[in-house]
Amino acid sequence: MASERILMKQGAEAKLYKFSFYGKPCIVKERFKKTYRHPTLDASLTSQRMKSEVRAMLRSRMCGIFTPTVYFVDMVNNSIYMEEVHDSQTVRDYIMNIQKEIPDINLAMTVLEPLGKKIGEILGVMHKNNIIHGDLTSSNMLLKGQPSSFNIVMIDFGLSHFENMPEDKGVDLYVLERALLSTHPNTEKVFQVILDAYCVTNKDGAKEVLNKLEEVRMRGRKRTMVG
């Protein structure tokens, strides 16, 4: 394992390195200490998030959702060693490029519709299996392969949990809606495609979840009005 780690990204909670794990290209996600938190609380939160992340990656895989393979978990150095997803870009970068190339949203929808459908199907399967992601954004989805036959790889499960309450699922979708619309203007139609596909794969639970989503939206609006 004696190869060099190359810093790839510094997030809010973790540093991501490129590394070679016994010859396999890998990503090391190392959560660093937060000095503004009490050390005991910080250690406990870090360990909780690492466990949640690894657990949800495995559970999602068991449901047929692509997530990076976990190679090694180092609880002493707060590091997860995982497969590097090759030839991938974040859904965020993909949508941004499409919107730059095709400014007309109706035209762009021809490309964004299959993407939204795939995302909705994945979220439907995750929720049907009671996996709540906790931080659904377009940066936490990797798009792999050609646009004609792409796959989505879900990442960044540190805030995930297992819960069968429609409320938690509704909030999960709300987080995505807010993230999507604030990162990518005029993507209301894309979110609707996501919801439609979600209803197909999570047929039995979708109605209650969508009711909760509407409730959470209303709470959000009220908060905005009150200031």
Active site residues: 135
User: Which residues are near ligand ATP by CB under 6 A?
Assistant: 9, 11-14, 16, 27, 29, 68, 82-85, 88, 90, 139-140, 155-156
Dihedral angle, C-alpha 11, 13, 18, 21, nearest 10 °: -160
Query: What does the DSSP 8-state code read for residue 66?
Result: B
Distance CA 126, CA 169 (A): 10
Comparing every residue's Cβ against ligand ATP, the nearest one is: 11
State the minimum distance, in angstroms, from the CB of residue 159 to Mg ion: 10
What does 85 bind: Mg ion, ligand ATP, none (CB cut-off 5 to 8 Å by kind)? Answer: ligand ATP
Q: How many CB atoms lie within 10 A of CB 24?
A: 12
User: Judged by CB, which is closer to ligand ATP: 109, or 123?
Assistant: 123
What does 69 bind: Mg ion, ligand ATP, none (CB cut-off 5 to 8 Å by kind)? Answer: none
Instruction: Find the DSSP H helices in 20-141.
Output: 39-62, 91-101, 105-128
* CB 109, CB 79: distance < 8 Å: no
Instruction: Map residues 86-125 to x or -, x wherever contact with Mg ion holds by CB under 5 A.
Output: ----------------------------------------
Beta sheet of 14-21, edge-to-edge order: 6-10, 14-21, 24-31, 79-83, 70-74
User: Judged by CB, which is closer to ligand ATP: 77, or 106?
Assistant: 77
Among 30, 53, 156, 172, binds Mg ion (CB under 5 A): 156
User: Judged by CB, which is closer to ligand ATP: 29, or 128?
Assistant: 29
